[in-house]
Amino acid sequence: MQLVVGLGNPGRRYRHNRHNIGFRCLEALARELGFAFAEETPQYRLAGGDGRGGPVTLLEPLTYMNRSGDAVLAWARRSGFSVGQAAEEAGIEESSMVAPEVVPIVVCDDLNLPLGSIRIRARGRDGGQNGLASVIAAVGGEGVPRLRLGVGPLAETVPPEVWADYVLHDFDPSESEAAAELVQRGAAALSDLLILGPAAAASRHNRRIRVDIRVDEDLPDNG
């Protein structure tokens, strides 16, 4: 079983926010695979079926971005899988090994990458992305593969004090086409990530858009 977690905020108000591009990418992958989001709980909604590499579950947290890990733990409790700390949360004895383990793959926005950029990594820190931080805390370690989709500006910097407001705004009309293209390229990257693994998918899809300002490659990179 493979579990893919797309990050965003639920509700029409947030639908087209920069912060919700993880939802949009996951939904594009669901369409590609012929899956429908047919199951919903207070914590998450699910789509799933047989992918090219075996069973795949797609999960959208409904707990809001900062508590995305709660949705992953709730899914683990209901499904009988272990996702790190989920085994303890479910009351599963570690020595019994009765819970099959699944490592979630996360797809999320990244303000530190310019719009149109894609970066896949097998593990790392959260880099300030609160939803990814919540999933890392739920799993209990940084070994969470992630696909990060750049939503940052192309010709300016965003001061840290306005980061939260920036990601909770929709894309500008001039950015809509680039955002839609990023969603489709992200879905293709996510599909390859499921089949090929992080290293091979990264070599095929990782791309950083060059911008009009100097970009410090040592900036936090959302893990």
Checking if the pLDDT of 52 tops 60, the result is: yes
Q: Is residue 70 part of a domain?
A: yes
Tokens of 120: 């896949």
pLDDT of residue 65: 98
Q: Is residue 219 part of a domain?
A: no
Residue 40 and residue 46 in contact, taking contact as beta carbons nearer than 8 Å: yes
Closest alpha carbon to 4 in 103, 133, 74, 141: 103
Domain span at residue 84 reads 2-205
Residue with tokens 């089949």: 195
Closest alpha carbon to 22 in 34, 10, 5: 5
Tokens of 86: 């989920």
pLDDT of residue 212: 54
Q: Is residue 222 part of a domain?
A: no
Residue 89 and residue 73 in contact, taking contact as beta carbons nearer than 8 Å: yes
| CA dihedral for 69, 73, 78, 84, sign (positive or negative) | positive
C-alpha–C-alpha distance, residues 202 and 189, integer Å = 8
Q: Is residue 223 part of a domain?
A: no
**Amino acid letter for position 66:** N
pTM: 0.88
Counting residues of the chain whose pLDDT is more than 90, the rounded percentage is 76
Q: How confident is the model at residue 222 (pLDDT cuts 50, 70, 90)?
A: very low
**Amino acid letter for position 25:** C
Q: Is residue 84 part of a domain?
A: yes
Pairing state between β 105-114 and 2-6: parallel
Closest alpha carbon to 47 in 105, 13, 5: 5
pLDDT of residue 154: 82
Tokens of 13: 């108000």
Q: Is residue 215 part of a domain?
A: no
pLDDT of residue 100: 85
pLDDT tens digits, one per residue of 58-80: 999 999 999 999 999 999 999 99
C-alpha–C-alpha distance, residues 68 and 22, integer Å = 12
Checking if the pLDDT of 155 tops 90, the result is: no
Averaged pLDDT, 101-123: 95
CATH of the domain at 171: 3.40.50.1470
pLDDT tens digits, one per residue of 157-179: 788 888 889 999 999 999 999 99
Q: Is residue 134 part of a domain?
A: yes
Tokens of 41: 């709980």
Averaged pLDDT, 6-34: 97
Domain count, the chain: 1
To the nearest whole number, what is the mean pLDDT of the chain?
89
C-alpha–C-alpha distance, residues 221 and 5, integer Å = 19
CA angle 44, 140, 55 (to 5 degrees): 50
**Residue 150: beta bridge partners?**
110
Checking if the pLDDT of 186 tops 60, the result is: yes
Q: Is residue 211 part of a domain?
A: no
pLDDT tens digits, one per residue of 93-108: 544 445 688 999 999 9
Supply φ then ψ for residue 116, to 5 degrees.
100, -15
Catalytic amino acids? Answer: 19
**Amino acid letter for position 111:** L
In this structure, of 187-196, 197-206, 213-222, the range with the lowest mean pLDDT score is 213-222
Checking if the pLDDT of 23 tops 60, the result is: yes
The better pLDDT of the pair 14, 157 is held by: 14
Query: Distances in Å between the alpha carbon of 162 and those of 39, 113, 159, 197?
Result: 36, 16, 6, 35
